[in-house]
């Protein structure tokens, strides 16, 4: 059955792919974005669809619309962007959650929170399970994002317990793919952009810290599966690819796939940068029947192709 669905942060990397998927499923989609990190280019190909609407709006202010489902994705997600204005980042997570939960309460909508693996901080448990409470610095340079997302989770579960709001919470691990911002400071886009430009590839620390990379199409499948799961499934549920790579391995794979002559350049490790990150996804497997399907080589090849096309347009 067709629904009217609100996607906050809908012109961003993940949001634009989600809007595309929801339209393909026959729904009406309201894309809300303040275009701080999102861009109209990401959703330009959807503008001609009569079931798609774009609204410039900042979720730190209330929104009054009629919808059946809300995907709350609004928040800068890369360190470069969320540290640019840390107070606004925190407001987006906290005030944005309050406003979207208030909307869900008023109209009886199901609401999904795009939380993050950063709620686990620099983890002492590996891989990270949903029952792990995390190890987070509350006053560091990354805290505006990490603690903002943790507070948003608290709000979601309090609105659920106190007001009966139908909530879904997912913790998203590193995701990559076409429409990533070339200057967002995330490791996959950084490495690809540097390799394509023939620049040194920047590694922080010894490059032995690990991440797990999920291709965007797999992540979107997980979001949709979570939203449409039975009411008793609230989460939090990890969504990510459990295959773990060191930063050196990722850099070498990018160099191989681009045919670049880039060299590796080591820089000091940023404050509070997690040493390892890998999701335990047994809950997603059992409750959502979800698992990632796209391997890193396939995903990187598609992402590299996107950046090549993007740079060709800019020439």
DSSP 259-273: T----EEEEPPPTT-
Q: Extract the tokens encoding 165.
A: 């709001």
Task: Quote the CA–CA distance of 5 and 62 in Å, as a whole number.
Answer: 17
Q: Check the CA dihedral 26-46-113-129 and report its sign.
A: positive
Q: Which of 18, 38, 41 is nearest to 29 (CA)?
A: 18
Q: Extract the tokens encoding 212.
A: 């797990």
Task: Quote the CA–CA distance of 161 and 154 in Å, as a whole number.
Answer: 11
Q: Extract the tokens encoding 183.
A: 């200057």
Task: Quote the CA–CA distance of 193 and 180 in Å, as a whole number.
Answer: 11
Contact 3, 27 (CB under 8 A): yes
Q: Which of 200, 223, 208 is nearest to 284 (CA)?
A: 223
Task: Quote the CA–CA distance of 223 and 244 in Å, as a whole number.
Answer: 21
Task: Quote the CA–CA distance of 96 and 91 in Å, as a whole number.
Answer: 7
CA 237 to chain centre: 14
Q: Which of 15, 221, 218 is nearest to 114 (CA)?
A: 15
Residues with catalytic roles:
145
Q: What are phi and psi of 124, to 5 degrees?
A: -95, -5
Task: Quote the CA–CA distance of 118 and 182 in Å, as a whole number.
Answer: 21
Tokens 């949903």, residue?
130
Beta-ladder partners of 32: 8, 55
């Amino acid at each position: 059955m067709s629904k009217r669905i609100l996607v906050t942060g809908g012109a961003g990397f993940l949001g634009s792919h989600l809007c595309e998927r929801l339209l393909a499923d026959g729904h009406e989609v309201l894309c809300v974005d303040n275009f701080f990190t999102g861009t109209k280019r990401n959703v330009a190909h959807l503008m001609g669809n009569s079931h798609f609407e774009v609204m410039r709006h900042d979720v730190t202010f209330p929104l009054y619309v009629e919808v059946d489902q809300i995907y709350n994705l609004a928040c800068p997600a890369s360190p470069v962007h969320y540290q640019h204005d840390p107070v606004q980042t925190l407001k987006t997570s906290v005030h944005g959650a309050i406003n979207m939960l208030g909307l869900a309460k008023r109209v009886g909508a199901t609401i999904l929170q795009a939380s993050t693996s950063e709620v686990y901080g620099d983890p002492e448990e590996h891989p990270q399970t949903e029952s792990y409470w995390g190890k987070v610095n509350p006053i560091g340079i990354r805290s505006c994002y990490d603690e903002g997302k943790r507070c948003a989770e608290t709000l979601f579960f309090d609105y659920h317990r106190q007001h009966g709001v139908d909530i879904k919470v997912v913790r998203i691990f590193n995701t990559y793919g076409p429409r990533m911002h070339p200057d967002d400071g995330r490791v996959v886009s950084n490495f690809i952009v540097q390799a394509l430009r023939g620049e040194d590839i920047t590694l922080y620390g010894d490059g032995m810290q690990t991440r797990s990379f999920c291709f965007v199409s797999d992540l979107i499948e997980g979001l949709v599966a979570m939203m449409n799961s039975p009411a008793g499934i609230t989460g939090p549920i990890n969504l990510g690819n459990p295959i773990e790579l060191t930063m050196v391995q990722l850099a070498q794979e990018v160099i191989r796939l681009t045919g670049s002559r880039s060299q590796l350049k080591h820089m000091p490790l940023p404050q509070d940068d997690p040493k390892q990150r890998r999701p335990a996804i047994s809950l997603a497997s059992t409750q959502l029947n979800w698992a990632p399907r796209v391997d890193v080589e396939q995903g990187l090849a598609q992402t590299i192709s996107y950046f090549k096309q993007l740079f060709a347009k800019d020439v």
